[in-house]
Amino acid sequence: MAGLENVVRPHVFPSIRPTSTRTAAPVDKAGQGGTTITGSGGRIINLPYSYSISMNQSRPTESKRRVDVARVYQMDDDGTVNKDTFVDINVANKIWMQGSMVPYFYTRIQQSDNIEIRETDKIIENPAVQ
């Protein structure tokens, strides 16, 4: 109960704390308290099955792309097109990857009030792949 008193009453002066009871060491009987550890011997443990996994992931490199060159004009808040402010962009519509026979196709950019298509089907080669 001494542990409980410390929790319930966090501050107890030593002069009023009861002394703990002294316990005698237990008397061992002959043969009591001994543990015997046994094993299965020195034979090999065989697994009924085994498997192995190996992965290799390489990052494909783009060899060339087909783009449409477009000019995007600024739209003002009232919806009018400001032809003085624009950005020229390359929009990919087909990309070839190195080592792949099948290219990736993308939707072509559409002409609108603020988008002007300047050039179509321009091929850009990747010089790092050559």
Chain segment 63-105, per-residue pLDDT in tens: 999 999 999 999 999 989 999 999 999 999 999 998 888 999 9
Does 122 have pLDDT greater than 60?
yes
Please state the domain count of the chain. 1
Q: Where are the beta strands (DSSP E) in the chain?
A: 62-75, 81-97, 104-105, 115-125
**Do 89 and 69 touch, CB atoms closer than 8 A?**
yes
* pLDDT given at position 111: 94
Reported as a single tens digit per residue, the pLDDT across 1-51 is: 455 554 555 565 666 666 677 776 666 666 666 677 777 667 776 778 778
Q: Please state the rounded mean pLDDT for residues 106-126.
A: 94
Taken in order 107, 110, 116, 73, the sign of the CA dihedral is: negative
**Residue 2 belongs to a domain:** no
The domain in which residue 81 lies consists of: 62-125
Tell whether 38 is covered by a domain: no
Question: For residue 24, is it within any domain?
Answer: no
